[in-house]
Amino acid sequence: MIIRKAEPADIAPAAAIPAQAYQTDFRPIIGDGASAYDVAHFETRFERDLEHLTVLDDGGVKGVLLLLDGHIAMLFVAETGHRHGAALLAHAEVHGARSLEVFAANAGARRFYERAGWHIAREYSRNFAGAEHRFLRYEKSPEFTQEGA
């Protein structure tokens, strides 16, 4: 398992990971709005933010992390149960991650981040995919990150 900076050739396989999550995991949360978050959507985003994109390579791209100014904008893995998410989160923390947001209804993500020591800083509503949704902003103090350990 290698965590490395993404390269242009990683964009397509990396984009497939969150696109799949939106069609399976997020469709029950955001409904038909999930269809806008397809591979092309994420390819465009990753092309724009390539310098901030990290991939987990384990015989192919198995996870993706987009870290923008200390905020985890995206963290997705192709499969659960392989510790890929934990490895990407630890990498993000070492590289300055201090905040992230999740859908309040995403119980799996909430458990994942809370087990890793992240805490809810605030709850709020905002428009996403054409509808209002509840979100949670998580934060982690530097002294509780892998970097501060």
To which H or E segment does residue 103 belong?
A: strand 99-103
Q: Give the tokens for residue 100.
A: 């992230």
Task: Please check whether residue 149 lies inside any domain of the structure.
Answer: no
Secondary structure letter of residue 143 according to DSSP: G
What band does 142 get if pLDDT is binned at 50, 70 and 90?
low
Q: Would the CA dihedral through 42, 43, 45, 46 be positive or negative?
A: positive
Given a cut of 60, whether residue 59 has pLDDT beyond it is yes
**Number of domains the chain is built from:** 1
Question: What is the structure's pLDDT at 74?
Answer: 98
Domain residue limits at 12: 2-144
Q: For the residues 63-73, what does the mean pLDDT come to?
A: 98
Do residues 125 and 134 lie in contact, with contact meaning Cβ atoms separated by under 8 Å?
Answer: yes
Q: Return the CATH number at 89.
A: 3.40.630.30
Name which of 130, 148, 131 is nearest 140 in CA terms. 148
Per-residue pLDDT tens digits for 80-130: 778 999 999 999 999 999 999 999 999 999 999 999 999 999 999 999 999
